[in-house]
A and B are shown apart, each in its own frame.
Chain A
Amino acid sequence: MPTVLIVEDSPSVAKFYTLALERRGGFACRQAHSAEEVLAQVRSGEVDVVLLDISLADFTYQGRPIDGLELSRLLKGDPVTDKVPVLLATAHAMVGDRERFLEASAADEYLQKPIYDPAILVEKVNALLEKKY
């Protein structure tokens, strides 16, 4: 059973992702609430896909605030974690955001909130898993 790491600062949105991915896709879900936790979980090899929000209230890395774009770059810059697909999910949805964010984060895919259809979410994650294997 593939495992999705959910990194999202809104508890209700995180809850929705978890339910949607578990019930619709049969994935196992985890959550992380700090940058160090994210890095450790992905390094452990137990995470197959990272679902990552861009705005991360309260997230710090080495004592300073960090957002999803930088966190993604950290994952993609580390040979241990760079193969794990990152799916950016964000409510920043102005024209040009998609390209800007993909470029700035080196992430694999981008989803624009509101993401409310469990089927689409599952489909995106599955596509990334196929890419990985």
Chain B
Amino acid sequence: MMRRRNYDADRAPGQAGMSDFLKDFLRETKSYIGLDANDAARLAAVGPALEPHFPALAELFYRKILEHPNAARVFSGPEQLARLNLTLQNWARRLFSGRYDLAYAEDRMAIGRRHVDVGVPQRYVISAMDVVRIYLLEAIDNAEPDLQRAAAIKRSLNKILDLDLNLMCESYFIASVSELRDLNARLEAANLELSELSRVKDEFLAHTSHELRTPLNAILGFSRLILDGLCQSREEERELLGDVFESAQHLLGIVNDVLDIARIEAGKLKLNVERVEMRPLFEQVLAVVRVQADAKGIRIVDETGGAPLPPVRGDAHRLRQVLINLLGNAVKFTDEGWVSLRASTGAVAGHLQVEVQDTGIGIPRDKQSIVFEKFKQVDTSFTRRHGGSGLGLAICRRLVEMMGGTIALESPGPGLGTLVRFTVPLETPVEDRPHRAVQDQLSIAGPPQGTRVLVVDNDPAFRKFLQRLLAGEGFAVVTADGYADALDAADRFHPAVALVDWVLPVSTSLAYGNGIDLVVAFQSRFSLPSILVTGHEPERAQAEMARRSLSPPPPILRKPLDAAVLRETMQKVIAAHTPQS
């Protein structure tokens, strides 16, 4: 009978289902092995005589287990080994306790589980148990001169060791089942995601094909009319050529959008980030959009003239693209009223905030979150009013994020207008900016609207670990591996706090400095507070820090980092840095 089918591997040991399962398992195994009260009594009686052998036994067992590199890695250092030795002596003592009840089984399962967690393969445990068995059998021969009695005790010992072995193996089995379930669940989720992705791509392909065919129809049709000599005058011919030209431009726009999103997806879009003056950019863009607006009788309100606009850091060409797109959308989706452009500093620290507001058709609340996703249009039905690649806002979002800003949209609802707001980092007045390693894309892990954290560490594994940990806790995380990248990221990403490794390599480029230099630079250039992380010698970091006049000095945390301590320290640093309002 497959009793283990009754066992729910998702339940933690100690829960009702687990105990029931274990009780059954224990009863069945005992009866199968033939372990009874006589064995228990025999083992209990011989226990005290074997007690002196337990330290050596423990030694043997773990010498075997430690042959596995995983075990050797975990159980390193004299303290660990001494503790292990005691644990194993207890395990041996319990073999001769004479009580083989549920508590006993649970204890054995827990030991097995620890081996699983450490990553020691089952075969190592089995052969270590074998070493123990041989040793104990010999010890019994020495302790019990009566051959018959010794044989009986040895039979009992074999039974209890079999029971233990069964329990340990069972814990391996349970672990595999639950691992398989996890794996299956993850696979299912991945499959679902893939099929959704594939569906979205199909839809996108169908949609793009439709959008490409419409202007193509006009281009081919009009030129054919001209070629077939069906025009009645030179003027009409010129008029149709104008239509051809306009449709071709429309087509080009769609093709460019598709190419842009493909490039962004492939991580191949290069930004040329530099100091950008917004005033001329606004003027250029407004001039373009005014033409469209005038044709529809919509007013364009430029509200950016009030205050001086500080320069930003971004890609001028791409900023223009974002503005044209947002303003163009606003005009496209507004039938009467106005479209307004605003810009302000101060709303988001270190950023210029740009707003485009219209009195147009608005967006239903439930659709507001999807408009920035690629391939998504609010309305993809045949009756929808507005053509286009459906990629404009997705492209805008990626471009803005790549430049280190954010973009969001608000609409009270259908018919009530829309407000799109995005930010661009301000140019910081730094004269001696180190030549930065050009990294086009700030890749942000975690929710983009989360508190921003910059992780600087040259160890990719540790960077990844921190990135996952912090993203999982709701932070928006950007990582950097060296001095120059870190300054660049701080410049563009405007984090609330930085986690900096004490030892950063002096890289081959013009980049220089170690973690403390970086902490000082963060503070002086961006007034960005840091937490220093060090793998060793926190005292040295402390001493070096004391020589710098940093106020307040950054907290120093030691690797391996404790997640709770890290969280608490970050909260403290962020809170201390936030101006009291």
Contacts and interface: CB of A to CB of B under 8 A. Distances in A.
Interface of A: 10, 12-13, 15-17, 19-20, 23-24, 54-59, 65-69, 90-94, 113-118
Nearest to B247: A12
Given A12-B246, A116-B220, A91 B384 contact: no
A118 B246 CA distance: 21
A91 B382 CA distance: 11
Nearest to B387: A57
23 contacts: A10-B217, A13-B214, A13-B217, A13-B218, A13-B221, A17-B221, A19-B240, A20-B225, A23-B230, A24-B228, A55-B210, A55-B382, A55-B384, A56-B382, A57-B386, A65-B383, A93-B213, A114-B213, A114-B217, A114-B220, A116-B223, A116-B224, A118-B224
A94 to B, nearest CB: 5
B209 interface: yes
Given A113-B213, A116-B224, A118-B224, A16 B383 contact: no
Given A12-B218, A20-B225, A91 B381 contact: no
Contacts of B205: 94
Contacts of B247: 12
Contact of A54 (B212, B215, B224, B382): B382
Contacts of A19: 225, 230, 240
Contact of A20 (B210, B215, B221): B221
Q: Is the interface of B mostly helix, strand, loop or mixed?
A: helix
A114 B215 CA distance: 9
Most interface-central of B210, B216, B228, B230 (chain A CB within 10 A): B210
Nearest to A59: B383
Nearest to A90: B210
B382 A113 contact: no
A59 B381 CA distance: 12
A66 B385 CA distance: 11
Nearest to A24: B230
Interface of B: 205-206, 209-225, 228, 230, 240, 243, 246-247, 381-387
A93 B205 CA distance: 11
A94 B220 contact: no
Q: Which 9 A-B pairs have the closest CB atoms?
A: A116-B220, A65-B383, A91-B213, A67-B382, A16-B221, A12-B218, A114-B217, A23-B230, A116-B221
Given A91-B209, A91-B213, 16 more contacts: A12-B218, A15-B218, A16-B221, A19-B240, A24-B228, A55-B210, A57-B386, A66-B383, A67-B383, A91-B212, A91-B214, A91-B217, A93-B210, A113-B214, A115-B221, A118-B230
Contacts of B219: 116
B219 to A, nearest CB: 8
A94 B434 CA distance: 53
Contacts of A66: 383
Nearest to B243: A12
Contacts of A67: 381-383
Contact of B209 (A10, A65, A93): A93
Given A55-B382, A65-B383, A94-B206, A16 B216 contact: no
Contacts of A17: 221
B243 A15 contact: yes
A91 B254 CA distance: 15
Most interface-central of B218, B243, B381, B387 (chain A CB within 10 A): B218
Contacts of A10: 214, 217-218
A98 to B, nearest CB: 14
B10 to A, nearest CB: 43
Contacts of A68: 382
